[in-house]
Structure 1
Amino acid sequence: MVSSGATIRPMTAADVGEVFTVQRAAFVVEAQRYADAFLPPLTESVDDILTDLQTSIGLVSVLDGRLVGSIRVKAKDDELHIGRLSVAPDLHGRGLGAELLLAAEKVLPGRRAVLFTGDRSESNLHLYTSRGYAETGRAEVPGGVVLIHLAKELV
């Protein structure tokens, strides 16, 4: 993987406003794909993100002084639950998401990483499968969206 030149560091409370902005921009693309403006990452508030950071670890990607991506990870038993991977839409395809995903896999101890994405999110599915994630199941949620659950053994 080619390095994007970005720095990945822990998310702080001071970052949350920018994280909120990048997350909304990233997930608007997903909302258009699914014709659903109420995807959970789009209804999450700044306060919700701050609350989530009490039980999870957030990482941010910073490029040339600009916060351009984020991800959150939570340990549960021997698994890492990875979510809210967001990259500024104008920087898709530069390896930022892959770098955040790799960093999330290393930030906490765990034998397995799990995550999910929608079945129409081809670029997400490509990223995850190219990084060793395999489908473990599917579930339809209200609105007809099918979530694909994926996992990767870390050890």
Structure 2
Amino acid sequence: MRRYRISTELSEMDIDVIHAFISKSYWAKDIPKPVLQKALAHSLCFGVFTSGNQQVGFGRLITDRATYAYLADVFIVDEYRGLGLSKALMTNIVSHPDLQGLRRMVLSTRDAHGLYEQFGFTQVPNPEALMQVWKPNVYQE
């Protein structure tokens, strides 16, 4: 990771890069930029940057920083995949001082189980205990 760095400074996050990726994702397609900006403002954000300060990755935690965290919006832009950046990002996330001692950290993923399992995430053993209000097309309405 010599050529890359990870920052949690919200002021460094490039909302245009983040929005360009997330607004085309399967989990937040068409999310309006103002909604995304509000989400970032109320989250613990992690950005992956090149030595030239170009943002090439992102992830955020929705958390009280004491008992619970939900990991969301994790990505590495296509051109920078395969360089170990997702593992470096996850290492930074799970070792962040504000996320130590949590009772639960959760996420939802369709296709990256192998990555997250390397960092201790497992399938929920009792999914019947989970409930949700789910509006998958909220940004298209």
TM over 0.5: yes
Q: Where in structure 2 are the equivalents of 1:30-41 lying within 5 Å? A: 39-41=26-28
Q: Does 1:128 find its partner at 2:120?
A: no
Identity among equivalent pairs (%):
16
The DSSP-based 3-state class of the residue aligned with 2:35 is: helix
Normalising by structure 2, report the TM-score: 0.72
* Partner Cα distance (1:107, 1:53) in 2: 19
Structure 1 stretches of at least 4 aligned residues deviating more than 4 Å after TM superposition: none
Normalising by structure 1, report the TM-score: 0.67
* Partner Cα distance (1:84, 1:107) in 2: 20
**Structure 1, gaps ≥5 residues long:** 28-38, 144-155
Shift of 1:13: 6.9
Number of aligned residue pairs: give it.
124
Shift of 1:4: 6.3
Cα RMSD between the aligned structures? 2.6
Q: Where in structure 2 are the equivalents of 1:71-90 lying within 5 Å? A: 71-76=59-64, 78-90=67-79
Q: Where in structure 2 are the equivalents of 1:1-155 lying within 5 Å? A: 3=1, 5-10=3-8, 11-12=10-11, 15-24=14-23, 27=25, 39-65=26-52, 66-76=54-64, 78-105=67-94, 106=96, 108-109=98-99, 110-111=101-102, 112-118=104-110, 121=111, 124-136=112-124
The DSSP-based 3-state class of the residue aligned with 2:3 is: coil
**Structure 2, gaps ≥5 residues long:** 137-141
Task: Verify the 8 A CA contact 1:74 1:80 in the aligned structure 2.
Answer: yes
